[in-house]
A and B are shown apart, each in its own frame.
Chain A
Amino acid sequence: QKEVEQNSGPLSVPEGAIASLNCTYSDRGSQSFFWYRQYSGKSPELIMSIYSNGDKEDGRFTAQLNKASQYVSLLIRDSQPSDSATYLCAVNRGGATNKLIFGTGTLLAVQP
């Protein structure tokens, strides 16, 4: 089992729709969770961070965390073609292995 799992996609949504990106993680002791966006040929950039159960909203983006289910998601409302990118989920396990573990990313394609 991979430590951080994401569906590789591509996830195709029409412009204006809600894109839902999902991530599961294996270490129940994980403490902090991040969503990064990576355009083709570019470096990852942080979209959202979330540390406690529930929802966190920032503009069109909402991160959702459910530690009991070991699940974190990212919702993008009113999707735009400029949102087309690979979205990387990252988890910090904390403790002795304190480092970010990335998933392999989900490719999102927003169709005009």
Chain B
Amino acid sequence: DADVTQTPRNRITKTGKRIMLECSQTKGHDRMYWYRQDPGLGLRLIYYSFDVKDINKGEISDGYSVSRQAQAKFSLSLESAIPNQTALYFCATSDSFAGGIQPNTGELFFGEGSRLTVL
């Protein structure tokens, strides 16, 4: 079984619908992230969470919300989907840094991605 699991893997929906993408992990990591990937733009950070009570906006949080239901679960919601939210969405986890400058810390472990199409 994958350490980071995203559901659904593929979803087609219509403009205005509410969509939730779910992510769960078995790695025991504190930190969880949601990114979206569009052709030519790389991965852009939507939200990230350092623990259950900590949520942080990334560079493109408008139109999205998140919920950290437990250490192992981090959900991304689109309250009213629009076509320009069509993208590949990745969840990732990371262990805590110790001061943020140790070598080999901070590796992100990704789920396989959720492809969302908004018509």
A binds B: no
Residues of A within 8 A of B (CB): none
Residues of B within 8 A of A (CB): none
